[in-house]
Amino acid sequence: MIRIVVLISGRGSNLKAIIDAIAAGQIDGSIVAVVSSAPEVPGLLYAKENNIPVAIISRKPDSNPDLYGDAMAELIAPYNPDLVLTAGFMYLLRGHFLERYQGKIMNIHPALLPAFPGAHPHRDVLRYGAKISGCTVHFVDGGIDSGPVILQEAVPVLPDDDEDNLAARVLQVEHRLFPLAVSLFAQGRLQIEGRKVRILD
């Protein structure tokens, strides 16, 4: 059973998806802590409802990613996580955090990387006129949504889509794909080979 720390910055719907997947026996693991970048984010309610320890590590927009990563590494070290999930966590983390948990940090991004990285993928997809979007689960490196891809799934962009409609449809896939990637990790079936992630039988 793996020990999981989840980092959030908002509503926490992917956190809830992981919690539900663990409860359903789909993931051989437990969430040992939820860490938020702000004290009042809605996603913390899911942690409290499930008696998961909560920690806050506030970040100013101009904070140094290396220093913030150092502080995050120090904060979560006592929880001894096997896997760290950034689930709607909106800040870069570098420094000791990346060094200590390399290959053990997983993110979900609501677009088909390497297309449309960053904080506003749905807006960018619609402005570009893309016909397909989707979501990507990837390992985290020092860049913006640039780490090795674990799983992806496409979602069509419909002619009348706005950001909210597209986001809602992609989110349904996120809630299935993220727990699947975590389950594969817990089973020891993910092997990083350079930029590729091999899924072992």
Partners of residue 108 on adjacent β-strands: 137
Give the neighbor-by-neighbor strand order of the sheet with 29-36.
54-56, 29-36, 2-8, 83-86, 105-109, 132-139, 149-156, 196-199, 190-193
The pair of structure tokens assigned to 42 is 């809605």
Residue with tokens 């909210």: 164
CB distance 36 to 54 below 8 Å: yes
SS3 1: coil
Active site residues: 109
Cβ-based burial of 133 (10 A; exposed 0-12, middle 13-18, buried ≥19): buried
d(CA 42, CA 144): 24
Helices 163-186 and 13-23: crossing angle in degrees, nearest 10, is 40
